[in-house]
């Protein structure tokens, strides 16, 4: 395995991880938790 193949593999793995994070962030299951976190700065103590 040469350096170019290793770089390609690392790029593909990082891209797959990025896509996984995007899917996780936009999933409906997490939407309520993210909306609650978005309102935190505006709530009074």
Task: Answer whether 24's CB lies under 8 Å from 30's CB.
Answer: yes
What's the pLDDT score for residue 16? 98
User: Phi-psi category of 40—alpha, beta or left, where left has phi over 0 and alpha has psi -120 to 50?
Assistant: alpha
* Residues in Cβ contact with 30 at an 8 Å cutoff, skipping those fewer than 6 apart: 24
The DSSP-derived string for the chain is --HHHHHHHHHHHHHHHHHHHHHHHT-HHHHHHHHHHHHGGG---
- Count CB atoms within 10 A of the CB of residue 43: 7
What's the pLDDT score for residue 34? 87
What's the pLDDT score for residue 44? 76
* Tens-digit pLDDT profile for residues 1-45: 799 999 999 999 999 999 999 999 888 888 888 889 889 999 876
pTM for the whole structure: 0.67
């Amino acid at each position: 395995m040469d350096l170019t193949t290793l770089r390609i593999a690392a790029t593909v793995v990082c891209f797959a991880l990025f896509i996984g994070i995007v899917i996780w962030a936009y999933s409906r299951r997490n939407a309520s938790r993210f909306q609650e976190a978005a309102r935190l700065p505006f709530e009074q103590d």
